Amino acid sequence: MDYRFLKVSSGSEGVVRVTISSPATLNALNSAILAELDAMVDSLPATTRALVITGEGKSFVAGADISEMAHLSEAEGLAFGRRGAAVFKKIEDLPFPVIAAVNGFALGGGCELAMACDIRIASAKAKFGQPEVGLGIIPGFSGTYRLPKLVGQGMAKELIYTGKVIAADEALRIGLVGSVVEPEELESAVDALLAAILKNAPIAVRYAKACINGNYDLTADEAIDLENRYFAKCFTTEDQKEGMAAFLEKRKATFKNE
């Protein structure tokens, strides 16, 4: 599929890399970019094992497109918010790991997109924030839902109420990102993370994600039961047999995603 605002490439071992490319607007999310992200997710190959999302230029995503939002009615605002939230939920629900390589500004909708990913690796030059209240609105793409789950309610309230922008090292301190590297090391850091993930059994990784994401709104007993059931399902796979045989035989496992 041809995209106007996305650069999509598929590499070895089932890794798909997506770069949001609208540098003139700092990759701000408008309806067209959201539609392309939606279409991209729907067109991912069945063989995909990981997705990497980043931005072109000095911005990951600087926010939603204010020029598009400025004159929305209540009904139009509802539709726009639901559109973005639905795309991000679709990204979150992908069965394989999704990595945000945050190369620069991740503000508003950009921070919300990063939070919809499983893992966030940030350039030391990255900036994060939910500055919507300074525009007379609130986060509209699920920021009030995901941010408290990542950094706790108190810190989320402080960030959202003040609209302040924080540096990458502060994002690391509060748990918003998993690691911070120098800008020139971002790609290699992502590659190293991918290598660590891809050496493992693909089905087991997918089941682990299903448990973690599925735990969001469950009671402790329900979450433990969900894990138990996915744990049991692992024993129906050839990868489990290979992984344990390789361990006992002191050799490297060769997983076949079966």
Query: Is the pLDDT confidence value at 217 over 90?
Result: no
The answer to whether residues 187 and 218 belong to one domain is no
pLDDT digits (tens, 9 = 90+) for 133-159: 999 999 999 999 999 999 999 999 999
The answer to whether residues 104 and 183 belong to one domain is yes
Catalytic residue among 76, 112, 187, 258: 112
pLDDT digits (tens, 9 = 90+) for 80-90: 999 999 999 99
Q: What is the pLDDT, as a whole number, of residue 106?
A: 98
Rounded mean pLDDT of the chain?
96
Q: What is the pLDDT, as a whole number, of residue 12?
A: 77
Region 20-27: what's the mean pLDDT?
95
Q: Is 184 a catalytic residue?
A: no
Region 178-187: what's the mean pLDDT?
98
Q: What is the pLDDT, as a whole number, of residue 3?
A: 95
Query: Is the pLDDT confidence value at 257 over 80?
Result: yes
The answer to whether residues 194 and 221 belong to one domain is no
The answer to whether residues 178 and 191 belong to one domain is yes
> Who wins on pLDDT, 65 or 17?
17
Domain with residue 243: its CATH number is: 1.10.12.10
3-state SS, one letter per residue, for the chain: CCCCCEEEEECHHHEEEEEECCHHHCCCECHHHHHHHHHHHHCCCCCCCEEEEEECCCEEECCECHHHHCCCCHHHHHHHHHHHHHHHHHHHCCCCCEEEEECCEEECHHHHHHHHCCEEEEECCCEEECCHHHHCCCCCCCHHHHHHHHHCHHHHHHHHHHCCEEEHHHHHHHCCCCEEECHHHHHHHHHHHHHHHHCCCHHHHHHHHHHHHHCCCCCHHHHHHHHHHHHHHHCCCHHHHHHHHHHHCCCCCCCCCC
The answer to whether residues 162 and 239 belong to one domain is no
Q: Is 132 a catalytic residue?
A: yes
Catalytic residue among 132, 170, 227, 238: 132
Region 10-16: what's the mean pLDDT?
91
Flag whether 256 is in a domain: no
Range of the domain at 212: 202-248
Domain with residue 27: its CATH number is: 3.90.226.10
The answer to whether residues 126 and 10 belong to one domain is yes
The answer to whether residues 208 and 84 belong to one domain is no
